[in-house]
Structure 1
Amino acid sequence: MLRVGLTGGIGAGKSVVAHRLAERGATVIDADLLAREVVEPGTPGLDAVAAEFGPGVLTPDGALDRPALGKVVFADDDRRQALNAIVHPLVGRRRQELVAAAGPDAVVVEDIPLLVENRYEAGFALVVVVHAPEEERLRRLVDDRGMTPADALARIRAQATDDQRRAAADVWIDNSGPLVDTEAAVDDLWSQRLVPFEAHLRAGTRAPRPPHAILADPDPAWPEQARRLLERIRRIAGDRLIRADHHGSTSVPGLPAKDVVDVQLVVADLETAAALAGGLADAGLVRLPDRWFDVDRDGAERDKALACNADPGRPVNCHIRPVTSPTWRDALLLRDWLRAHPDAVAEYAALKRDLAAQPHDTIDEYATRKTPWINAALARADRWAEQTAWQP
């Protein structure tokens, strides 16, 4: 099963994307519908809302008067939090029931308007954000839903900003244009990413990659992608983690790299590393079962566990190393030394481009050819660490 979080600001057109995904075969769980269900007449949820906000939020026939409640909570953060404290746990329990009822091969899309506001993004292997500019959202709310401009703007401003949603988004769908364009984007997402992602997760297989080293220009999105991944991992790993870091070439500004985000987890021992590597499916990662090891700068083999991406849209290597291995420290030392030395970044970039252009049969062969430079760089980094009192 693949669980996907779907969100977007009010008026962005999230329901259009949810409907299209359902047409393609996704199991869509709509948090707004669940929020209505848990406060239907006769439910404990409605009783709790009436007790908190008074009879003025009920209609004459005893149902929830949503416009009346909306006027109270959308203008007052404290009152909105009080409502959320009642409704969200009820919705969460009902959502868990529906997820459990989906098949083992399901792509479950959870449509959650306040996913970003409530910091739910780390609970999903992928987050999809639907976007439209504020002026277009305002127009839709006024023209299509009959809101006043003031009420519509208040609803928009009470939610997360575009920047906050971008920080949470693995996939950004622009729904400001023609419907056919949005549907085409959803269709591509479904067939090219979600369906194979779920299949790889279920089979425990890594998504395919090119067999040769192909360098990409530095991408400012790499650190954000690593940050989101590490948040998911931390949620799963808990206190088994000693530390978790983005490292490797994608963590160094200005350095070209294979478009593979490397993250490093440090744990107590190899047994913990192996168990954690096999338990990261909710972060979109699968364990590679063979023996994996580093060769340290003295030529010794150091065992580790390795998990990689089931997601075909974001290659990841998750190196899980026991704290007794010196390679985890060297990985962070090299990263920080490069960040502090732009001349070394340029030197390393030139080497990488030269080696990638040379014939090589595998990624490992390309990596082996870099080893002499890296070992020499670590010797320089050691001197820098001593001079600066660097610690990982």
Structure 2
Amino acid sequence: MIGAGVFAAFAPAAAAAGAGLLIGLAVAGVIAYCNAASSAALAARYPRSGGTYVYGRERLGPWWGFTAGWGFVIGKTASCAAMAITFASYVTSEHATPLAVAAVAALTAVNCFGVTKTARLARLLLALTLAALAVVLAGIFGGGRLDVGHLGAVEQWTSGGLPGISQAAGLLFFAFAGYARIATMGEEVRDPQRTIPRAIPLALAIALVVYAVVGVGLLLVLGPARLATSAAPLADATEAGGLGGLAPAATAGAAVASLGALLALITGIGRTTLAMSRNGDLPGWLASVHPRHHVPHRAEAVLGLVVCVLVLTLDLRGAIGFSSFGVLVYYAIANASAFTLPPEQRRPPRWLAALGLVGCLTLAATLPWTSVLAGLAVFALGLLGRAIALARGTCRRGG
């Protein structure tokens, strides 16, 4: 969870809700918990790779499974673009777009050679990210240039109203990406029935505390208005606090977190695309696996190309909004699937799945209108493509 989102999501959230982004953060955390609890129950019932793509197919039907898988693929593809943009924005302001494209191309090539992020590397990246955050936050809170007025004025909390807070929650939901992966590891965890239910709320609580501290620090130093327009909030906060010498720590933390997340995302999306292609839900030629490196090289090459196009056409807010829309639809289907489980297979209460379903749909609907329209259009395109493919398959069998 704690990765590039903490370096990127606060600026668009501040643009939506001002200081009310802190309320949005709490809302996002609650909905993330509902989603993770539903995913945990489903993972115990269906311990197979594929996540909600599998759960939706099993509980609701193939079309719902496809919609979840399609939402994951398009949402996480936009996440790749957001990660690349975040990396480049912290490193340089003048050549951010070319650098972001170069990062995508380089890490796509790395993945095509079968080099993926391991658990050991994940721990190293997390340690470096937390170290960078600790240095920057120590400087911000110890620098003596905090303005409590940024949080004290009522208008700073209500500038966007309830729609603004809901939109901020949807955008900050992006920073919680990864929490439900805990639920999908039941086959690899010792005593999963005991460990996973403890791990999910603990991990969410730790991430929420870290994010809250970062959010308060950014608001106290930059204020909502300046935070809303910042391309590199943590680096700008160190400069504004008179601690410019700490800016390299913020840059290094953002770079490490963004590149690590980008590498993992390319790997994960490639494998999901592979699974969907094998089931006929995406073009079959994407299911090709390299005979030597044993990776879905065609899927990852196409993914890299699409992400480069998104980097060239979207800004950070657009990429985060589009990503959140796809992923919120994905988890709405997860909650709907968990709602259908019989009582003996449903550890969390049914109302928790219902709350998660309503919450996901509400946050998705209140995202920036451009993200909502683009998301609906891409979902419609995916569903239409599947309908055409099924119709052609039926015609061939009938012939």
TM-score normalised according to structure 2 size: 0.24
TM-score normalised according to structure 1 size: 0.24
- Higher helix proportion, which one? 2
Larger RCO of the pair (alpha carbons < 8 Å, separation 6+): 2
- Higher strand proportion, which one? 1
